[in-house]
Structure 1
Amino acid sequence: MIRVLLVDDEAMIRAGVRSILDADADVEVVAEAADGREGVDLTLSRRPDVVLLDIRMPGMNGLDAAAEIKRAAPAVGVVVLTTFGEEEYVARALSEGADGFLLKTGDPRELLLGVRAVAEGGAFLSPKVARRVLQRLDHDRSVDRLKARDKLSQLTGREREVLALLAAGMSNGEIARRLFLVEGTVKGHVSTILTRVGARNRVEAAVMAHEAGLVQGTERREGSD
């Protein structure tokens, strides 16, 4: 069972997201919070597998909450719920260690895929969010397609395969099954990939893979667990 904490100051948004999650028998919403501080406190007391975190909230915002959650409970997955026009916030959330990004107006199926991927130790980027994040990162950090490809050129063929599947939202277990590897081997590849490309976390590596065009044609398996 995947245990989820939902943090958003809008009751209607929480109700909508909860209804989607409740439709999956493998997902349980263990608590809800209306602000970041309450979300941090509930994370520490309930220890969910995944926290779905809004960005703009009164009191402690989602960005500060994400940073505090990752410092205090790094094993808990953090998925940022965002809307268009908040690319600068998403870029900062990335630097705080967020594991996934989803649009509030996106496909409900993406929500479930994202929660599952992050709960299993993977990363998940909504394709639409990824495009906007890439535009922002290109503006703020001048990480263009050529530079991203240059960084990825340091990887072996197998590491590029692992990175492409990671960027498609797969967990280590899913990547291992897809490539017929032991999960520990995949973990080793991921660690090496992060070091070689200079990424701070899986999501940053996934963004770099999207920027380099490595994910084109890579499909995430449906119904995997």
Structure 2
Amino acid sequence: MNHPRTLRVLIGDDHRIVREGLKQVLAEAEDIAVVAEATTGDEVLAQVRAAGSGALDAVLLDIALPGRDGLDVLQSLKREQPDLPVLMLSTYPERQYAVRCIRLGAAGYLNKSADPDDMVAAVRKVAGGGLYVTSATAEALAASVGGHAPRQGTEALSHREHQVFRLLSQGLSVSEIGARLGLAANTVSTYRARVLEKTGARNDVELALLAERLARGAARP
């Protein structure tokens, strides 16, 4: 009798309680083993490189990692190991992030509050070479490729502009964002100006309110 091959997973999340919860959920599946953990983007990349090509079957990656955020790490992983599936995890709304993640090469996007059965199914799907999308993500993808209207607001932001938007909405200053992203302050100021123009916000307070509205709106069915 053939036994299913154990799927080897790395979890990248800076919150211990989240990692422990994910491990507990995945431990219920006999064919999935969490073989590595990382708390920062640089640790994720270091562990993947140390493991070598083919050693991992999937990476579960938080978007909001300290230092290099998950989207930056995702891009690096896809350059270095394009065949390694990356399942993005987040507390952010799917409408706001799922399409962006998949465009950057993610094999799926899942909210951290997802049902445990969905979490296991997602890991199996991406580790098997598939694309895991919820119905909400599928709708967002369809709208992004099938809609004729130009992208507006936060959807029109580039990857770097979106990073700056997210950090501004969290209350970080231009200099703090520059240090976090490795950018000069005047470069961050340029991105900030583009973010304000594209979103129609007049200042950082309005950006924070916009981010809060987006989160509340996506929480509705």
Structure 2 equivalent of residue 202 of structure 1: none
Structure 1 residues 1-225: aligned runs within 5 Å: 1-46=6-51, 47-85=55-93, 87-132=95-140, 134=142
For residues 137 and 82 of structure 1, do their structure 2 counterparts lie closer, same or farther at Cα, with a shift above 3 Å needed?
Answer: farther
Structure 1 runs of 4+ with >4 Å offset: 132-143
**Is this contact kept in 2: 1:70–1:76, CA < 8 A?**
yes
**Higher mean C-alpha deviation, range 43-52 or range 26-35:** 43-52
Number of paired residues?
143
Query: Quick one: distance in 2 between partners of 1:61 and 1:87?
Result: 19
Code of the residue aligned with 1:28 in structure 2: it is: A
Gaps of 5+ in 1: 144-225
SS of corresponding position for 2:14? coil
SS at match of 1:5: strand
Rounded Cα–Cα distance in structure 1 between residues aligned with 2:83 and 2:58:
9
User: Is the alpha carbon distance of 1:137 and 1:40 closer, same or farther for their aligned partners in structure 2, counting shifts above 3 Å?
Assistant: farther
In 1, the alpha carbon distance for the partners of 2:14 and 2:124 equals: 23
Shift of the alpha carbon at 1:87?
3.6
Task: Give the root-mean-square deviation of aligned CA atoms.
Answer: 2.3
Gaps of 5+ in 2: 1-5, 152-221
Give secondary structure in 2 for the equivalent of 1:32.
strand
Q: Tell me: CA distance 1:113–1:43, structure 2 relative to 1, closer, same or farther (3 Å).
A: same
* 1:37 alignment partner, SS class: helix
Rate the CA distance shift 1:107–1:41 in 2: closer, same or farther, 3 A: same
CA distance in 2, matches of 1:65, 1:34: 12
Greater Rg over alpha carbons, structure: 2
Letter in 2 for 1:105: S
Deviations 1:147-175 (A, max 9, x none): xxxxxxxxxxxxxxxxxxxxxxxxxxxxx
TM-score by length of 2: 0.58
> Separation in 1 of the partners of 2:148 and 2:14?
29
CA separation in 1, counterparts of 2:67 and 2:81?
21
Deviations 1:5-41 (A, max 9, x none): 0001111111111101111111110111111111111
